[in-house]
Amino acid sequence: MAGPAPAAHENWSSRLAFMFAAIGSAVGLGNIWKFPYEAGEGGGGAFVLIYLAFVFGIGVPVMIAELSLGRRGKMSPPNAVRSVAKQEGRSNLWSIAGWSGVIGAFLVLSFYSVIAGLTLSYMVDSFSGSIDTLDASNSADYFGSITGNFPLLLLWHAIFMGLTIAVVARGIHGGLEKAVTWLMPALFAILILLVTYAMAVGDAASTFTFLFQPDFSKVTLETVIQALGQAFFSLSLALGSIMAYGAYVPRDVSLPKSAFIIAGADTAVAILAGLAIFPIVFQYGLEPGAGPGLVFITLPVAFAQMPGGILVGGAFFLLLAIAALTSAISLLEPIVAWLEEHRGINRVKSAIGGGIAIFILGIGSVLSFNYWADVTFLRGTVLDNLDFLTNNIIMPLGGLLVAVFVGWRMKRISIRDELAPKSEFGFALWLFMLRYVCPLALG
Ligand code: PHE
């Protein structure tokens, strides 16, 4: 598997550019539609506490490890891990820790793009006013009519993949950095506006109870596992993205500090998303329904009733689309970096080729909503299976391998060299979490 000598990659042009890109990766559909609902259902404040413990106790240590591997290996995830393993005198097989990321990213992006396409469709329909008439009786039917429309869903999936390819094809400086320096401030601005609006016109009291009042009786083992999975997905771990971005981080940037900022921003956005959504849901007496239902069925009903709902609704779906796009580019990047290095294919061709392959796989997920809705095997539809495979197998496995490799197989001196720890206590604590706690939790 020894490919041609890989070309050295570019670096982020500033620390801020890296922060925007990494936070853009972390903040995605997971924050805006999944977290608020899971928190509300999983015991409010109790879930939030467990989630925070996982984010900072397990997610951050693994993120530091991934960033270190990326920066030390200076290549796409599989080659970065292989190169570090070689420096450390370890087996080539450790590159599986990078492979699982690239393969996982490929699979996840294939269905992530389909959902993101749906948000684009809703965004256009919101701004054009065509869904301003939805009410509780027909919103679900409308959702069904969109997802049941195979060519329409396919078209939006294609448009979203096209946007993602267009950004990644332009490279780190001309593509990713440029996109995130525009999109991330826009995302924060829209989010703050929506939270302010929701708090002003909506039912803030019920929202605080739902999201924050701890109810430990609702916490089951399943909730705990869900919180861990959500923490991993939300932080973009074990799918190659963070490791690939780590490869472009200049030497003088502190990785531990960066990881804390990324995790903090990601968590803040998740909570803010809840504060934007639930006041409106409760104000209009709607049920905080699950996952896609909350965002695509329940919220449009609220938008249709509220004054200025066309703009608020449009802004909300724009927010989702931006969040999804900055995550999608981070899923395509590890794949493109690998194609570039390993096959010597230039970036434009790699982005187009990789993107088209992902688009084609995504057709399976598009079909899962309509023609193949009844075609189920193993865990359900094609989409259900991809979701299960990535969430329950590839991600925990990838995270475990990274933790074990960095925690047990790298020399202390190399890790110290990479992290330049300022606090001995912090370093020891990180290593302890990585060696004992992370493998246990992920295993
Ligand atoms: N973190 C993103 C979200 O919350 C999803 C993602 C996972 C993006 C892994 C990149 C890598 O939606």
- Burial class of residue 412, CB neighbours in 10 A (0-12, 13-18, 19+): exposed
Q: Which atom of ligand 1 is nearest to the CA of 324?
A: 12
Ligand 1 near 25 CB (within 6 A)? yes
Backbone angles phi, psi at 95, to 5 degrees: -60, -15
Nearest to 30 by CA among 99, 111, 100, 143: 111
Are the C-beta atoms of 109 and 163 separated by less than 8 Å?
no
Ligand 1 near 31 CB (within 6 A)? yes
288 band by pLDDT with thresholds 50, 70 and 90: confident
- Residue 128 domain-assigned? yes
* C-alpha 388 to ligand 1 mean position (Å): 15
pLDDT tens-digit profile of 179-199? 999 999 999 999 999 999 999
- Residue 93 domain-assigned? yes
Ligand 1 near 55 CB (within 6 A)? no
* C-alpha 27 to ligand 1 mean position (Å): 7
pLDDT value at residue 29 = 94
Residues 6+ apart with CB under 8 A from 78: 95, 98, 99, 101, 102, 338, 342
Distances (CA, A) of 251 to 29, 62, 80, 398: 31, 19, 16, 25
Q: What is the pTM of this model?
A: 0.95
Q: Which atom of ligand 1 is nearest to the CA of 236?
A: 9
- Residue 215 domain-assigned? yes
Ligand 1 near 33 CB (within 6 A)? no
Ligand 1 near 230 CB (within 6 A)? no
Residue 322 has which token pair?
């931006």
- Whether residue 56 is predicted with pLDDT greater than 80 in this model: the reply is yes
pLDDT value at residue 4 = 45
Distances (CA, A) of 208 to 205, 226, 309, 316: 5, 21, 23, 20
CB atoms within 10 A of CB 349: 14
* C-alpha 238 to ligand 1 mean position (Å): 10
- Whether residue 52 is predicted with pLDDT greater than 60 in this model: the reply is yes
Domain count, the chain: 1
Nearest to 68 by CA among 405, 366, 398, 299: 405
- Residue 226 domain-assigned? yes
- Whether residue 80 is predicted with pLDDT greater than 50 in this model: the reply is yes
pLDDT tens-digit profile of 225-264? 989 999 999 999 999 999 999 999 999 999 999 999 999 9
What size, in residues, is the chain?
A: 443
pLDDT value at residue 407 = 95
User: Residue 76 belongs to what domain range?
Assistant: 6-442
Ligand 1 near 164 CB (within 6 A)? no
Ligand 1 near 267 CB (within 6 A)? no
- Whether residue 3 is predicted with pLDDT greater than 80 in this model: the reply is no
Long-range contacts of 20-23 (CB under 8 A, 24+ apart): 20/177, 20/180, 20/181, 20/184, 21/176, 21/177, 21/180, 21/245, 21/326, 21/330, 22/236, 22/242, 22/245, 22/258, 22/262, 22/330, 23/184, 23/261, 23/262, 23/265, 23/266
Ligand 1 near 233 CB (within 6 A)? yes
- Mutation to probe ligand 1, out of 327, 330, 336, 391 (largest number of atoms < 8 A from CB): 327
- Residue 1 domain-assigned? no
* C-alpha 80 to ligand 1 mean position (Å): 21
- Residue 317 domain-assigned? yes
pLDDT value at residue 289 = 64
- Residue 125 domain-assigned? yes
- Residue 385 domain-assigned? yes
- Specify the residue for token string 């591997």: 69
> What is the spatial distance between Cα 437 and Cα 443, in angstroms, rounded to a whole number?
10
pLDDT value at residue 333 = 97
pLDDT tens-digit profile of 125-150? 999 999 998 988 899 899 999 999 99
Ligand 1 near 28 CB (within 6 A)? yes
% of the chain beyond a pLDDT of 90: 81
291 band by pLDDT with thresholds 50, 70 and 90: low
pLDDT value at residue 298 = 86
Strand, coil or helix: what is 374?
A: coil
CATH assignment at residue 232: 1.10.4160
Ligand 1 near 241 CB (within 6 A)? yes
